[in-house]
Amino acid sequence: MGIREGDIVTISSVAVYYSGKAMPDWVKNDKWIVKSVTGDMAILGKNVSGSNDINSPVNIKYLNVGGQSQQSSAMEQNFAGSQKNVANSRNAAVTGEMSVSDRGVELIAKYEGCRLEAYKCPAGVWTIGYGHTEGVQQGQTLPSVEAAKALLKQDLKKYGGYVNNCVKKGLITFPLTQNQFDALTSFCYNCGNGSLQTLVSGRDASTVADKLLLYNKAGGKVLAGLTKRREEERALFLV
C-alpha cells in the first residue's frame, strides 16, 4: 500500500529531505502525519504528539506506514484528524485567520512561473518550482508541476500568515474579504513582508487598492510584467 494523506509514518534512518538536505535524528526518531502526497514527494506536517510541525517534503521511499497495530494506527489517525479539524475551526472562528484560496494560488503561480530544475535567481539564491528557496541545492529537480504546486501552497502559508499578522497588529483596519486576502498574499509573496506592511498600514481598502499599482518597478524602472501583476491583484482585491 502506498503512502497517503493522513497516514502516520516512521522515517528511515538513512533519510534526507527531498532537497537532499540532511535530516536531524529527532525528526527521524519521531512519527509524523502525512499532510499531502504528490508523485514521490510527501509533505510531513505534525508529529503524532502535536508538539512539532515541520511541513517538510520527503521522498516517500524513506517512509513506512504504521509501527503499531492497524487498529491502533487508525485510532491515532482519527484522533489526529479530529484535532486538526478542531484547530482549524478554532482558528477560523476565534482568531479569524484566513488561508489563500485556489484562485489566489493560481494567480501567484501564473506570475511566478514554474521551473522543475533548481536555478539561481537574480539574487544568487538557489530556487525551484514557483519560487521555492528553502533547502534548495544545485542539481535538485521536482518530478512534476503538481509537486511544484504543492511546495508553493506550503510556502503561501507563511506569506498568508504575514497578512493575518497585519490584521492582528491592527495595521489592516478594514475587514478582509477572501479576494482581498488572496491579492495581498500574492503581493507579499512578490514584494515581501516589509512592503506589505507599508502598503496596508492605516489605510482604507480603497487606498490600498490604488497604492498597489505603485509597486511595479525594479531597479527604478517600470516593468511590464510587474505592472500587469499589480493590475490583476488590484482587480481581484476590488471584486
Confidence of residue 179 (pLDDT cuts 50, 70, 90): very high
Tell me, yes or no, if 121 is annotated catalytic.
yes
Look at residue 73 and tell me whether its pLDDT is greater than 50.
Answer: no
pLDDT of residue 93: 39
Look at residue 161 and tell me whether its pLDDT is greater than 70.
Answer: yes
Report pLDDT digits (tens) over 126-158. Answer: 999 999 998 898 999 999 999 999 999 999 999
pTM over 0.85: no
pLDDT of residue 204: 96
DSSP, residue by residue, the chain: ----TT-EEEE-TT-B-TTS-B--HHHHTS-EEEEEEETTEEEEEEETTSS-EEEEEEEGGGEEE-SS-HHHHHHHHHHHHHHHHHHHHHIIIII------HHHHHHHHHHH--EEEEEE-TTS-EEEETTB-TT--TT-B-S-HHHHHHHHHHHHHHHHHHHHHHHHTTS--SPPPHHHHHHHHHHHHHH-HHHHHHHHTT--HHHHHHHHTT--EETTEE-HHHHHHHHHHHHHHH-
Look at residue 102 and tell me whether its pLDDT is greater than 70.
Answer: yes
Instruction: Spot the catalytic one: 117, 121, 146, 231.
Output: 121
Arithmetic mean of pLDDT, 184-202? 96
Tell me, yes or no, if 233 is annotated catalytic.
no
Instruction: Spot the catalytic one: 112, 166, 188, 233.
Output: 112
6-20, 32-46, 67-81, 100-114: least confident range: 67-81
Look at residue 87 and tell me whether its pLDDT is greater than 70.
Answer: no
Confidence of residue 88 (pLDDT cuts 50, 70, 90): very low
Confidence of residue 96 (pLDDT cuts 50, 70, 90): low
Look at residue 190 and tell me whether its pLDDT is greater than 80.
Answer: yes
pLDDT of residue 156: 95
Report pLDDT digits (tens) over 43-57. Answer: 998 888 877 788 888
Give the span between the Cα atoms of 81 and 63, in whole angstroms: 19
Arithmetic mean of pLDDT, 183-187? 98
Average pLDDT over the chain reads 85
pLDDT of residue 56: 83
Arithmetic mean of pLDDT, 85-92? 41
